[in-house]
Structure formats: structure tokens, C-alpha cells
Amino acid sequence: MKNMSTLLIKFLIVLLLATTIVTLYFVYSFGALADKITFAAILQTIKQFGLVIGIPTTILFVPADFLITKIQGVWLLYIVRCMVFFGILSLVSLVLSFYLVSNALLNNPFVLL
């Protein structure tokens, strides 16, 4: 049971981190197009872009983390985890780039019509 709670905590941390990074990237990239960034626009960005990339990244990272835990050196463990996390985040971002570009062109939450 302890392993399941540890797995759930890792899953939630990675999901929150990936969603936050992607959302901040989109707010930074498209924020100049908006007169003001509202809370509703940020929530829309989280739903449209953050979770679309965050969920697959988390699903791919957690099984990889099981394999990484076999490493004995603590500092090396953290470095490898960070590299794997950002590698998976980049890979999922590239795979879903067509979706993001087309969705951003059609439904930009920062441009009010």
C-alpha cells in the first residue's frame, strides 16, 4: 500500500509540474496578443494545452521512474530523473505540436472575438 501512495504522489507531482510548465510557456508565448490575461483565459489554456501534454508526459514518466530507481547514486538519480522528465516532455510536445498549432490558430484563448 505504501508503494501505491508513493506512486500516486509521484504521478500528481509530475502532472502538476508538466501542466504548469506548458501553461506558463503558452501564457508567455501568446500573452502579447492579449490586452490582459484573465483567470478564465489561464484556465482555458490549462484545459486546451496543459493537460493535453501533461497527462501523456506523466503516463510515460512514472513507468520510467521505476527503472530509474535502480540507480544507487542519489545525485545521479536526480539528474537522470530531470533529464528523463524533460526528454519525455519534449517528445510529447513534438508529437502533439500539430494539435497545438492548429488549436492555437483556431481557438486562441487570449484573443477575444
21-46 confidence digits (pLDDT tens): 888 888 887 777 777 788 888 888 88
In this prediction, residue 16 carries a pLDDT of: 92
CA-based nearest residue to 54, from 102, 84, 96, 83: 96
| The pTM of the whole model exceeds 0.85 | no
Q: CA 14 to CA 5: how far, in whole Å?
A: 14
**Grid cell for residue 17:** 509540474
pLDDT in tens, 81-107: 888 888 888 888 777 776 767 666 666
Q: CA 83 to CA 104: how far, in whole Å?
A: 28
The mean predicted confidence, pLDDT, of the chain is 79
pLDDT bucket at 12, cuts 50 / 70 / 90:
very high
Positive/negative CA dihedral, 110, 103, 55, 93? negative
